[in-house]
Amino acid sequence: MALIAFWFPLRLWLDHGDPILAILANSGLYGAIWGLFPWLIDKVNKQGRRALTTADRRRGITIGLAVGVPVFGAFLALCLATGRWVHAGLFALTLAGLVAAAWMSHRALKSGDDRAVAARG
């Protein structure tokens, strides 16, 4: 969310003259793309991580879905309404990845397989 809020004024300044909905869609997409970098860096640098408890993992699943689904769902609807089909496809992939990660983490927690959850982060 913070990256989307960062990109909006920047895209507004860079894309002056474009429709505001197009600028909003671009800022959401750029925020989602740049939001992946900390996750990728965390996957590469695994040393020094604190062990997450089951409550921490459940809280992460809940917050991720509660924030991510409405935000990226709204961006998906915006892109479909404005005819930005490539952006809509990327937001649909983002939503699918978010739900899939939450489902895999939930199943691993339910089965008690802590190694599977720890391996996925």
For 29, other C-beta atoms within 10 Å of its C-beta total: 23
pLDDT tier for residue 60 given thresholds of 50, 70 and 90: confident
- Across the range 73-92, mean pLDDT stands at 87
The domain limits of the chain are 2-120
Q: Which residue has the higher pLDDT, 44 or 101?
A: 101
Q: For the segment 9-39, what is each residue's pLDDT rounded down to a tens digit?
A: 777 677 667 777 777 777 777 777 766 666 6
Q: Is the pTM of this model over 0.85?
A: no
Residue 72 has pLDDT above 70, yes or no: yes
Give the integer Cα–Cα distance in Å for 36 and 45. 14
pLDDT of residue 61: 82
